[in-house]
Amino acid sequence: MSEQPLASFDELGLAPTVLKVINEIGYETPSPIQAESIPPLLEGRDLLGQAQTGTGKTAAFALPLLSRIDPNQNVPQILVLTPTRELALQVAEAMSTYARYLPSFHVLPVYGGQNIGQQLRQLARGVHVVVGTPGRVQDHLRRGTLKLDRVRSVVLDEADEMLNMGFVDDVEEILAQVPRERQTALFSATIPKEVLAVARRHLVDPVEIRIRSKTTTVETINQRYWQVKGLHKLDALTRILEAEEIDGMLIFVRTKTATVELAEKLEARGFSSAALNGDMTQVMREKAVERLKSGLLDIVVATDVAARGLDVKRISHVVNYDIPYDTEAYVHRIGRTGRAGRTGEAILFVAPREMRMLTAIERATRQTITPMSVPSRKQIADRRISLFNEQLTEAMQSQELEFFEELIDNYQHEFDTGLRKIAATLAYLVQKDKPLQPDVAPTDDLPVEGVEPHGRKQEPVGGMEDGFATFRIEVGRIHGVEPKHIVGAIANEARISSQGIGRIRIYEDHCLVDLPADVPRQILKHLQNVWVCGQKLRIAAVSDSDDKRQRKFQKRRIIGKKIDRPWQKTTTKSRRGPKKS
């Protein structure tokens, strides 16, 4: 075995169609099991690999075997046996992704509990790869619906678990129906005598690979996970950033493209962030790290390779936005916090289908990762109020306030206003761009994917009050729009006062705004060509059904109740609407 993994996938000899996918996905370097397994499997050698779940072994066998497949032969050429349906689905999905550019490629997962009729139809149409549990594969063999006489490669994945579940006889019977002149790869977390016996009977002069786990984590790191559900990951991350005591944060994603996309989205939401990936020049990477160290930057979104050797003491949080494929990678990631005896926070986002990987990480690190709840709206409001109080106290103790005290005394005397009212008004002015009581996400019932939150009271379609109608404008969160931009544009261009503008709901690429239902057509036509944040408003009325669909998001703000209809008070000339500038 070589001591170090190869520098890149380009050096491993994979087929161009497979390598193209790897580059598109953004994988930068192979994991140890991949670097050791791919070359001999490409050569057609048998292989015995000992590696834990979560070390990247699916790609270790899928990439080389797919590189050797003949897409013109629409028969099973690769057979992968797995102990569970979950693993069968995971492997099948991965192989489908890696074979994206193989013409007319088909992979079929077969397992118990699924309608066998669907599997029969797919087998009749023809597949290149079968991934299945031993029991269901045996069932198809008995029916005569699965032929293995053209199989060139067999993979026994997680062999120890398969044998522990009592599949040893099934495995033996299945292998007996595969041509003797075949390639066989066996992967197992442990190599007990039963697994070794199977390897000796079915592997010919195998290459043996053993990946030793070095996973030890720092005790000063508090590890938590959030199971991805309900919220989008970006909204959940936003809540965490709002509610937690964060100094510096390092966010890990899988691909280079994702670093840029996520950093830009966080910037658009008001967080100082930058990307760090292998496509950036060394100077650009060093500049980003220096900005993080100096406090000019609070968040860096990085890939594993780009973050190697990164040592910044102020990193208080590491977020695994994308779960790593490798337990070693997880340990290296979270090791960027909790350094020099300081405490650190590690947060892992886990989709339901990735819970196996979470178990593998806990097993490898011998530590429990505790579940967490995404901060609620109240928690975020409490956090904002706490910061506001700190700023207030600090300014009160450090600033010379005599001039402002006289200013308030004069205002109170001139307008006969109580100090409490004045203080409340000043507090409103200070926080109005970022309200202490947030009206938008994060909220406790922010919906997802068109699902209406349970128990939400439905509001009238026409807006908060009678006399309003809902309009859509084509500028949204991605353009950096805020309610004040919309209010200013409509108030100035349509001669509607801010009190005559109802709710404003800001979404990713558009907004909904409630305006008086009888806005003249000429004014709406004029507003279509008004620019806000570099976008034309292109305002259009929203039907009842459209508006109901939009109620899957939380309202942005309620502005005033009085309906101001200036066009009813102006001269005939002004009824024609404002002149185009």
**What pTM was estimated for this model as a whole?**
0.50
* Residue 218's pLDDT band (cuts 50, 70, 90): low
Chain-centre distance of CA 527, in angstroms? Answer: 36
* Residue 115's pLDDT band (cuts 50, 70, 90): confident
Angle made by CA atoms 346, 348, 353, in degrees to the nearest 5: 165
Give the mean model confidence (pLDDT) for residues 259-281.
88
CA torsion 391-338-8-35 (nearest 10°) is -150
How are strands ordered across the β-sheet holding 468-473? 504-506, 511-516, 468-473, 540-541
pLDDT at site 79: 98
The model's pLDDT over 362-418, given as tens digits with 9 standing for 90+, comes to: 887 888 899 998 877 777 777 778 778 888 888 888 888 889 888 988 888 888 888
* Residue 566's pLDDT band (cuts 50, 70, 90): low
pLDDT at site 493: 78
pLDDT at site 563: 46
The model's pLDDT over 503-545, given as tens digits with 9 standing for 90+, comes to: 888 887 889 998 888 888 888 888 888 888 878 899 998 864 4
pLDDT at site 142: 92
Tell whether the model's pLDDT for residue 129 goes beyond 50: yes
CA dist., res. 575 & res. 572, Å (int): 5
More confident residue, 5 or 208: 208
Torsions phi, psi for 518 (to 5 deg):
-100, 30
Q: Which of 46, 41, 39 is nearest to 6 (CA)?
A: 39
Give the mean model confidence (pLDDT) for residues 13-36.
87
Torsions phi, psi for 344 (to 5 deg):
-145, 160
Burial class (CB in 10 A: 0-12, 13-18, 19+), 39: middle
Tell whether the model's pLDDT for residue 14 goes beyond 80: yes
CA dist., res. 424 & res. 280, Å (int): 48
3-class secondary-structure state, position 329 = helix
Long-range contacts of 435-438 (CB under 8 A, 24+ apart): 435/384, 436/381, 436/384, 436/385, 436/388, 437/381, 438/242, 438/377, 438/380, 438/381, 438/384
Tell whether the model's pLDDT for residue 489 goes beyond 70: yes
The model's pLDDT over 355-366, given as tens digits with 9 standing for 90+, comes to: 888 988 888 788
CA dist., res. 183 & res. 320, Å (int): 37
pLDDT at site 186: 96
Tell whether the model's pLDDT for residue 21 goes beyond 80: yes
Q: How many CA atoms does the CB half-sphere of 6 hold within 13 Å?
A: 14
CA dist., res. 472 & res. 469, Å (int): 10
* Residue 453's pLDDT band (cuts 50, 70, 90): very low
CA dist., res. 567 & res. 340, Å (int): 68
Tally of CB atoms within 10 A around 327: 25
> Could you give the percent of the chain with pLDDT greater than 90?
33
Kindly report which listed range (254-263, 305-314, 412-421) carries the lowest average pLDDT score: 305-314
Which amino acid does the sequence have at 77?
A: Q
* Residue 185's pLDDT band (cuts 50, 70, 90): very high
Q: Which of 203, 211, 213, 154 is nearest to 48 (CA)?
A: 203
Burial call 261-273: b when 16+ CB within 10 Å, e when fewer = ebbebbebbebeb
Please say whether the beta carbons of 184 and 157 come within 8 A.
no
Domains of the chain: 9-210 (3.40.50.300), 221-371 (3.40.50.300), 377-431 (no CATH), 468-575 (3.30.70)
CA 419 to each of CA 261, 386, 394, 415: distance values in angstroms, whole numbers, following the listed order: 47, 22, 20, 11
